[in-house]
Structure 1
């Protein structure tokens, strides 16, 4: 069998085979750091070829932070983005040079002269000019850049003290994205991604003007269109023509249009071309008569006639002939229903040298689609799929026939990710002084995903057939549910009427369940074991231990889309590593765009006085009707049939006519961060329902009528115990009336930890917050067990990601629990499952149609269930640690020893000073994890744990050695009471 470079992606249930194309090569991107020669870059996003077709540029935009030993600050000299420069005049790409740039965001273009290229500087709000010397070396001379002139982006700029218009950590910063140049080199256009504008430079290389900015929003140029959405999140640019005939085409991601700008004089919007999907990268043909627009969400290519600015063809990227069959389970009645679904995440395109084919990268399904262009009859179609690395972002051609046969053009594809494997060296905290490897392990999820450069000769049609079949295999296009499993799921669906979906934050399997007496856990990596999480341990024992379960996401940013919709749109995949590296942009996957709650409308004339607007929900929101006009969330997934922003689990339930209730999902948390004496704060009330004080403003349009206004969203200062009590309040009312919703969404988030100086009731250390989260989960399960709904309700509990701890199997492996009468009891289930499978199982239980291609291709977790109900019970047990708090707990048992946290709140507040815990991960999580390890474990050396080893056998012996090591450690074990 040929070597296809096959690698499994356990967190997605896919595999990748980048060496499958005949003659393919796959190269990692090594920037040759002098002090770290083995380090590899991640998140390659854009490729461009020089005018003479001899040089390929590869740009990264992502995390790319490097830590040295014993330092919480990234190595500044190494922690940059990169432009890799390859000689492609021969069949094998030869790396010539790597240029480091502090910050970037996707945009890069060659000057037509070939003596310079331009790189958009992302948050630095500039365009870098990289020039070639006479000797052929590339570099940026001091001061050789184009300034864009912004200090803030457009959004809600706030600081933790409640002031507005302050460009601090939570401020909205500018971002330079796509950049394009005219064929004569005289006009350069930059997309100002967070300022909803473009900046136009004229004069050419060596003589650029100071730049002219044009706001792309309709209301800013025409008062009659005040409050009309348009031009927001401009991402990519294509420039047609020269001189007085120059025109720019700008893709507006949020408003789904191509903005046409006349550049013949003062820049002026001359047309707007609406498109169905989110317009991503674009490319013009040589004659500049056709513009090819890649569209995420709709999985299509729109072909625009640039003479008429009309769409003349829309090309589906997964046509009928290549679509996988519908999932073979009882929820599918229409065999062609999969044609309704999208989710391939198309994101770039390139024309073949003869312009008869268009190659399109599809990030989420890891392939390049080959489109045969038929302009004459408008019948272009996909004729094949080519496997790539994980998450391809860009494709380019060398037109000189540099393949080994001297005739076939070479194809170059870059991808943004790679499989991570185990990360036992990822110290959850800062590591001890005696464990030097902690700092430089660099095993944080965004650090572990690496980029690659794939190259191969242009395949012929026969080869395309084989490659298409390989893509189908890689993505499980033919996966089906066995008759036996289908029967089990049918019985569960028949008996279960209610699902409670609980989402928690950020833990790995080994971190929590590594000390469990069964399953593949490594106790040496366990930091929040049974003493702190007795209820989660008991859930695993009572029902099923899922010891081979993986979070599909890398971080909380992409974790919430994956956990609620079984996909992360391309805009999220592009933004999350940049955000986590501190390179600008905002956390936008839970309904806030640039800190603005776009689920609520802006102020507009004619609205009823009682109508809830953004300003009423948050008085700090700027009173500007053109600020993110409309109610579209740029990061939200679409539903079937291209229903905009309705691709979530609750949307699927509502489409099926089921009842939904939301407790804490997609809530605006902006005002939680303000001091309690601020007039703009939302008070920390233990029982806000008692005073009818609204503490939760939804950030999702669909959830507005279904959200409990008294259930506090993400806030580390607030115990999960009181979240449970509010859920219990409504549950008791609904149970009395027999009105429990079919789908309940419950957010228990305190295992994230943070806000140690403002946390109430003494729940103010990492140990106590973990224990509080565990107790809330246990109380909810106990409540159902003792209710009228015990036999017809299933409780699904999951972490949104696994970014914050080490695991000896894979950095994505996490905890997941299922409880209820139809769940097997006392079983270890080691089948490989992930977040998408979890959601597919919920859909199957409730009889819901899939939301997109990902969950449509997943198979329900049938081996978790029995086809009949069994008696069950559950008793919640508070961790003994919690008796050191002010929570109203059950009476303490006589003789119970109450352990103390390793450090008190004052310590944690001091070491985390300056970190913003107001939302998930709005700070350097790598630094926080190191602080936590040191605070929790002190000088205890981080264990040299096995990686990838099956630890299911001989658990008693392993746990015995582990307990002995704790007793012999130089420092007291957690809970010994040191402060």
Structure 2
């Protein structure tokens, strides 16, 4: 923990750190009235630590609920919110969350309770009361009689009597009504105790709640920056609001953009008058209810008779990096590093079907990118942990607290959908063909890229790859013999396994409605000796995509199929339009041919497209407000199959050994070797971006944006 001392003017006079053993992840903090004791929520320990502020020593830990977060202290009690709710009992379905098990919904895998614990400051006895799902920050009224708890996954606040712990709940609306997504994450009382300000990360707003006797009334809202996560009130009633993503600026310098250039913001809002609240409410409602002009194409997507959607998710490229050399699109060839020579299939598919040159990711990194694509929702739990992910980098939603209470985007279907998952949600495992079961493994058990490549060339790869589900509720959907996400495993093995299963489905005539497929080699391993060159790994990814598309297009399922391809994020490169602009492809008999489509589309728009095809009601405000990609479709049918183009460079073109390098190439190789490639993005992206740029353009070429 960082401890600072301030002067009377607020200047930092001293800073020191208090070391805490075994990574407890301290989050919420409150002090006793005399300032001698600090109460700190130890999130991973499921405790509140009582710390002697003068001795800098933990005197005890008090067991509370799961994943404690917000803390406030009155004269007699300490109150803490538990994001994961009560401790699970034997009859619960459970799922992991940063080393603990949390009670979860057996269908979605999302946590099923949220609680508030009251700790007696004298004897440390505890009482626990249910509140809404995913309670986060809380506030104590000036007279210490009431607590206002923000419930991020319930779209509500709970008003709790600090003495009796009786609670009442008020919904904080979002738009469209009836969907999930206002995400209240912090609260603050006005000085008179009669108004509660609620930071709503999903609405990008401060909701205003009035206390009228024993009743709560939603009085309106004020607009903020992108995802407000904290609010405080001055003695004069003015608000201080902190916004995690500021205004969404991704500009670097010299005209280039990168999604990792995000910046937060702090704003001051004067105490709002009635007229300001009325105007602010209109603005917030309008901002959360976008109305897009018709984009043409086919409005009623379910009328096309598409029965099979193949949703292919790749890793981390911008539009300009890959397709910036296609002249008819809005590209910058100077920023193109993996052009036609390296990605012939991406280029052929974009030119044969629709070139989408205005498609943007919802997320900035894999942590939130995969969640936008699978849930059309990202929790404040993820948004708050964006920079460091202290409870674990659960890009695969292997932490139950990341899972939306609305479930995954297909789970609200009116009629049963058959879903098959290849790679998404995966944890390391190995398929045993003899027993027809997976064998658990960890990252240390992985082979090198060269060993996996040898198995691929010799046809023995099936016994060395596999996956298990990071979301236990989805385990039956996963293909256990498909390789888990690791850049040590060539994408040719992934293509081979998918095509092997496709051959079996050709014989049976049974194909899932939705297939989610990951291909992750375009992430690259930098210039690590022992790994292929970055361009060879991107070429591997391109060839795997081409093979899968060819296989589907030559199958019996092709007339009723759609293939959608997208990157999970665009962090590892630059783009001249925006840091979130990325590569997206739409492929199929009902996709228009040879056109450039510059309509603004996003991750959630692609999800909404799938939902509209299968008539799945969107349950989050993000999916409900998203623009389905109607313009890429045509009612006409063209069944011509696709022929995969061969790779133009060797897929086993290897990075040179350290002994042969010097100067910047040696630095790049050493930096690459120091990175952990077994997890998406568990690397220094700013360093990797430089390595990839210089590897492609030459180490003397100036790096964009600097």
TM class, shorter-length: 0.7 to 0.9
Q: Do the aligned residues in 2 keep the contact of 1:236 with 1:251 (CA within 8 Å)?
A: yes
Q: Deviations over 1:369-398 (max 9, x none)?
A: 11122242x3x1212111111121222222
Residue 316 (structure 1) aligned with residue 171 (structure 2): yes
Q: State the SS of the aligned residue for 2:300.
A: helix
State the partner residue of 2:268: 455
- Contact 2:304-2:590 within 8 A present in 1 as well: no
**C-alpha spacing 1:237/1:459, structure 2 compared with 1 (3 Å):** same
1-side partners of 2:699 and 2:611: how far apart?
47
Give 2:483's match in structure 1, choosing from 712, 721, 729. 712
Asked if 1 retains the 8 angstrom alpha-carbon contact of 2:572 and 2:688, the reply is no
Give the number of the structure whose residues are more often strand, by fraction.
2
- Equivalent of 2:119, from 244, 261, 285? 261
Alpha-carbon deviations, 1:414-465, whole Å to 9, x = none? 21212224547699xxxxxxxxxxxxxxx6533x222223223222333322
- Alignment of 1:131 with 2:6, yes or no, is yes
Do the aligned residues in 2 keep the contact of 1:524 with 1:943 (CA within 8 Å)?
no
| Cα shift at 1:287 | 1.6
What CA distance in whole angstroms lies between the structure 1 residues aligned with 2:544 and 2:563?
A: 13
Q: Distance in 2 between matches of 1:716 and 1:860?
A: 32
User: In structure 1, which of residues 121, 141, 145 is the aligned counterpart of residue 14 of structure 2?
Assistant: 141
**Match for 1:793 among 555, 561, 578?**
561
The match for 2:443 is 673
Give me the whole-angstrom Cα distance separating, in 2, the residues matched to 1:526 and 1:694: 33
Distance 1:371 1:658, change over 3 A: same
SS of structure 2 residue aligned to 1:590:
coil
User: Number of matched residues?
Assistant: 656
Query: Mind listing any 5+ residue stretches in structure 2 that lack a counterpart?
Result: 86-113, 430-440, 662-667
Aligned equivalent of 1:926, options 677, 682, 686 = 686
1:916 and 2:676 matched: yes
Q: In the alignment, which residue of structure 2 is the partner of 1:660? A: 419
Q: Pick the aligned partner of 1:151 from 3, 16, 21.
A: 21
Other-structure match for 1:804 = 572
Query: Structure 1's 466 and 738: CA in aligned 2 closer, same or farther, altered over 3 A?
Result: same
Once the two structures are TM-superposed, the CA of residue 573 in structure 1 deviates from its matched residue by 0.4
Determine the C-alpha separation between the residues in 1 that align with 2:608 and 2:38: 47
Give per-residue Cα distances to partners, 1:576-623, cap 9 Å, x unaligned.
2124xxxx4420232334xxxxxxxxxxxxxxxxxxxxxxxxxxxxxx
Find out whether 1:289 has 2:60 as its counterpart.
Answer: no
Partner of 1:191: 41
**Distance of 2:447 and 2:522 partners within structure 1:** 27
Superposed, which structure 2 residues align to 1:25-424 within 5 Å?
126-132=1-7, 136=9, 138-141=11-14, 147=18, 150-153=20-23, 174-202=24-52, 207-208=54-55, 210-216=57-63, 231-241=65-75, 246-255=76-85, 256-265=114-123, 267-268=124-125, 270-311=126-167, 313-318=168-173, 324-325=175-176, 338-339=177-178, 341-376=179-214, 378=215, 380-400=216-236, 409-417=237-245, 418-423=247-252
Change (3 A) 1:542 1:131: same
SS in 1 for 2:386: helix
Q: Which has the larger radius of gyration?
A: 1
State the secondary structure of the residue aligned to 2:33.
coil
Paired position in structure 2 for 1:65: none
Distance verdict in 2 for CA 1:675–1:138, change over 3 Å: same
SS at match of 2:576: coil
Distance 1:755 1:494, change over 3 A: same
Q: Is the 8 A contact 1:552 1:835 kept in 2?
A: yes
How far the C-alpha of 1:547 sits from its partner, in A, is 0.4
For the aligned residue pairs, the C-alpha RMSD in angstroms reads 2.9
Matches within 5 A, 1:641-652: 646=407, 648-652=408-412
- 1:657-806 matches, within 5 Å, as 657-669=416-428, 671=441, 673-675=443-445, 686=456, 695-754=466-525, 764-806=532-574
Note the C-alpha offset of 1:690.
8.1
Q: In structure 2, do the counterparts of structure 1 residues 184 and 234 end up closer, same or farther at CA, with 3 Å as the change threshold?
A: same
Residue 139 of structure 1: CA displacement?
2.2
Compute the displacement of 1:931 (Å).
2.1
User: In structure 2, what is the Cα distance between the partners aligned to 1:423 and 1:543?
Assistant: 32
Q: Quick check: 2:328–2:596 contact (8 Å CA) kept in 1?
A: yes
Residue aligned with 2:57, SS: coil
- Shift of the alpha carbon at 1:805? 0.4
The aligned residue for residue 552 of structure 1 is 362
Aligned counterparts of 1:684 and 1:673: Cα–Cα separation in 2: 19
Tell me the distance in 2 between the aligned counterparts of 1:826 and 1:444: 29
Matched, 1:830 2:626: no
TM-superposed CA distance for 1:481, in Å, is: 7.6
1:869 paired to 2:705: no
Question: In structure 2, how many angstroms separate the alpha carbons of the residues matched to 1:540 and 1:791?
Answer: 20
CA drift at 1:711: 0.4
TM-score of the pair, normalised by structure 1: 0.63
**CA displacement 1:767-815 (0-9 Å, x = unmatched):** 1110010111111111111111222110010100001101111111101
Distance 1:677 1:558, change over 3 A: closer
Distance 1:943 1:187 in 2: 50
- Cα displacement string for residues 842-878 of structure 1 (whole angstroms, at most 9, x for unaligned residues): 1111211113110111121111111232233311112
Partner of 1:615: none
- Rounded to whole Å, the distance in 2 between the matches of 1:515 and 1:755 is 22
| Distance of 1:779 and 1:533 partners within structure 2 | 13
Structure 1 window deviating more from structure 2 (935-944 vs 273-282): it is 935-944
Give the whole-Å Cα distance in 1 for the aligned partners of 2:333 and 2:353.
21
Residues 525, 943 of structure 1: 8 Å contact kept: no
Distance 2:38 2:409 in 1: 43
CA distance in 2, matches of 1:373, 1:516: 59
Moved more, 688-697 or 289-298: 688-697
Query: CA 1:783–1:180 in structure 2 vs 1: closer, same or farther (change >3 Å)?
Result: same
Contact between 1:902 and 1:935, CA under 8 Å: does it hold in 2? no
Are the counterparts in 1 of residues 301 and 630 from structure 2 also a CA contact under 8 Å?
Answer: no
Q: Is the 8 A contact 2:526 2:692 kept in 1?
A: no
Alpha-carbon deviations, 1:289-341, whole Å to 9, x = none?
11110011111001111111221x101110xxxx545xxxxxxxxxxxx41x2
Shift of 1:944: 7.1
1:451 and 1:801 map into 2 onto residues whose CA distance is 19
Distance change >3 Å, CA 684–CA 258, structure 1 → 2: farther
Residue 646 of structure 2: aligned partner: 878
Q: Are residues 694 and 934 of structure 1, via their aligned partners in 2, closer, same or farther at CA, if it must alter by over 3 Å? A: closer
Q: Does 1:445 align with 2:259?
A: yes
Change (3 A) 1:481 1:271: farther
Which of the residues 405, 416, 422 maps onto 1:638? 405
Work out the CA distance in 2 between the residues paired with 1:683 and 1:828.
37
| Conservation of the 8 A alpha-carbon contact between 2:342 and 2:647 | yes
Say which SS state the counterpart of residue 776 (structure 1) adopts. helix
Within 5 Å, which residues of 2 pair with 1:468-507?
468-476=281-289, 479=291, 488-507=298-317
- Compared with structure 1, are the counterparts of its residues 489 and 391 closer, same or farther at alpha carbon in structure 2 (3 Å cutoff)? same
Deviation at 1:508, TM superposition (A): 0.3
Gaps of at least 5 residues in structure 1 are 1-125, 154-173, 218-230, 326-337, 401-408, 428-442, 594-632, 640-645, 886-899, 948-979
Q: TM-score, normalised by structure 2?
A: 0.87
Shift of 1:704: 0.4
**SS across alignment from 1:450:** coil
Q: Distance in 2 between matches of 1:277 and 1:387?
A: 24
